[in-house]
């Protein structure tokens, strides 16, 4: 009997402390090969190669074909971006990252890890999808969120979501200081914050409902 690996996703607005928390935990568990903590938001040629290799290995041996098929159908039938073109670099990046996350989870489950913690995971990708589709209205976003949750459920994984929160003033101050490249950091003001806070709230309410 193989015990199910627990996957934990840190979910929340930028500057709510996801990477900070993961860094603290990484120092604590750096000698424990059963607990894997991985940063998703680092960009480099090495990380791109590593992600590609993870997808290839998972595809050859133990990737969930049903889940991948549902993922492809989601992008064909439901993903209708407004902020960018359907076939754009951003769309391809979202799909590639979804494939990588699924492969990463399956790969570490195969290696019999106890815990895998990710600072930006499948639900964080859902936020990017909702942004691209301009779906912040709760009634309109309901179908998209439910379809995405259905994909996650079809993967047969144990996924816990850790919701990272911080005060609005704290978030805006941190964003202004770090000058990152996330969507919300391009225009740092209270209106922009409220716009993205609403989309996160919609996703969280759907997660709790399911």
Q: What is the pLDDT of residues 104-141, one digit of tens each?
A: 888 888 888 888 999 889 998 998 888 888 765 556 67
How far, CA to CA in Å, does 191 sit from each of 137, 184, 185, 194?
Answer: 16, 11, 12, 5
Is 63:108 a contact under the CB 8 Å cutoff?
A: no
What gap in Å lies between CA 206 and CA 45, rounded to an integer? 36
Nearest to 120 by CA among 31, 177, 200: 200
Most confident of 4-8, 94-98, 106-110: 94-98
144-191: pLDDT as tens digits: 888 998 898 888 888 899 989 999 888 888 888 876 666 666 666 677
Tell me the C-alpha to C-alpha distance, in Å, between residue 123 and each of 27, 147, 171, 177, 188.
25, 12, 20, 26, 23
Residue 74 has pLDDT above 90, yes or no: yes
* Residue 116, helix vs strand vs coil: strand
């Amino acid at each position: 009997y193989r015990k199910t690996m627990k996957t934990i996703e840190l979910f929340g607005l930028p500057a709510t402390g996801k990477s900070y928390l993961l860094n603290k935990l990484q120092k604590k568990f750096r000698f424990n090969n059963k607990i894997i903590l991985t940063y998703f938001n680092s960009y480099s040629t090495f990380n791109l190669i590593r992600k590609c290799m993870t997808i290839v290995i998972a595809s050859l041996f133990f990737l969930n074909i049903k889940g991948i098929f549902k993922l492809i159908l989601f992008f064909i039938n439901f993903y209708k971006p407004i902020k960018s073109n359907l076939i754009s670099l951003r769309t391809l990046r979202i799909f590639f990252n979804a494939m990588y996350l699924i492969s990463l989870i399956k790969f570490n489950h195969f290696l019999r890890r106890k815990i895998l913690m990710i600072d930006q995971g499948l639900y964080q990708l859902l936020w990017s999808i909702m942004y691209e589709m301009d779906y912040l209205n709760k009634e309109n976003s309901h179908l998209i969120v439910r379809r995405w949750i259905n994909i996650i459920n079809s993967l047969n994984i144990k996924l816990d979501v850790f919701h990272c929160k911080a005060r609005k003033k704290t978030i805006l101050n941190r964003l202004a200081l770090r000058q990152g490249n996330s969507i919300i950091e391009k225009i740092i003001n209270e209106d922009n914050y409220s716009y993205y806070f609403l989309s996160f709230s919609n996703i969280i309410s759907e997660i709790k409902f399911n």
